Structure 1
């Protein structure tokens, strides 16, 4: 295996404290708040995961929502109401406010279908928009015993907090034949009319897997995979992911190549493969 493309793409982590490096970042206090809210959310969601009395409903868009989704978003809203009363909030379950200059963007449980079925791959997503930019992202997945976070111009990290983390960087894979792609499903691609192009692209790549939802984007940021894409997304699905991918050195756009989480779909990559994938799709 020595000298192979697979070994060249292997990620190595170095855990240490980054608190001093981040302390001067203008959004460091916001990061500390977001990490604290993630701690509270993790406690609530972990307690409700697998609960016999979990209440599940179907929303008008035919996606499920549970009492845990709503309670977690309310918990975060209550905390923000005390700590950041002037900021607006855009959440999946309890209201999508317009930006007042600073706006918190919340997905209380990304991966609710997994949560309902007992699959331990779900996370709370907390993003912060300041002006036109997403400046902070926290993704906390307690059943994976993992958390990812980033602040704009401060780097991307994996760990419980700034004192216990590793700095993330995307992979250096530049050839599709050595690259790994992750998707959530194929159904939305059929509706877009480019499922055949997607399958043809996957045939050119080393590996296709369906990690799905938040996880595939975090794996891109970690350098564990190289490309992730979804054809249908809301702002709350993507906002927290964007700074993590970008601060790790990657690229996050919609499927037309427009940067950020604003296009209703998402494509994340290590940057080296982004143009090639956009052309293929």
Structure 2
């Protein structure tokens, strides 16, 4: 039955597309909204960057575990399949519902809202839109977020091949934009490396360790998605080889970009000014090139 599902005719996803799926699922609003809030509690730029490295290592460990499972059970479903086969269908059922509500729906909504808020930051006049006395601008960010989700739903309803092609284009664009921000920011931006010398010294006590743990929780949320290619295991060519590679390549690339982005954030913004800032990416661009 598994062999029949894996070998059925139809569009197949290669290593490049599978890696892009992992990257696209990982890179969302978290990396552009989290670091400023974390700096409020950490108050040390080196500690902030170290925690992003630790979060990446944890994500890589998870990717290694899923790589073994995905290669051994290359079926669509991810942990639903793994838990159902290894333990009980009940665990797979419960995991599926948790993933649906908290693992997929919540991050999709958060990413869509984050995108609309960044758009409003770039075009603040959108908030002033009004028609027939109705202040549409006050709700336009939520309407835009809903439209974005519906648009991508329609794209993927057209089929795997079409959705994969769109996914590849958007992921490449996302990587290029982040790479340009990193390279241009460090080479041409009006930042200062002395920002890394600012901030409070790290004091290891119960309170600071608790703060690090909470910060790491939000960082791991930003890294979520490292297991994405296992959900379409039956659609991937040579899954025993390409599922592990896609997980490791995708997670490794995202980890590198996240760490470099945080270096750019600190280079652009003094730690005290970072504290509590949600649109940390927008403030970084403003400080570097504004």
**Coarse TM-score class (shorter-chain normalised):** under 0.3
Q: TM-score, normalization: structure 2? A: 0.21
Q: Which has the higher helix share?
A: 2
Structure number with greater CO (CA < 8 Å, separation at least 6) is: 2
Q: Which has the higher strand share?
A: 1
Report which of the two structures shows the higher radius of gyration computed on alpha carbons. 2
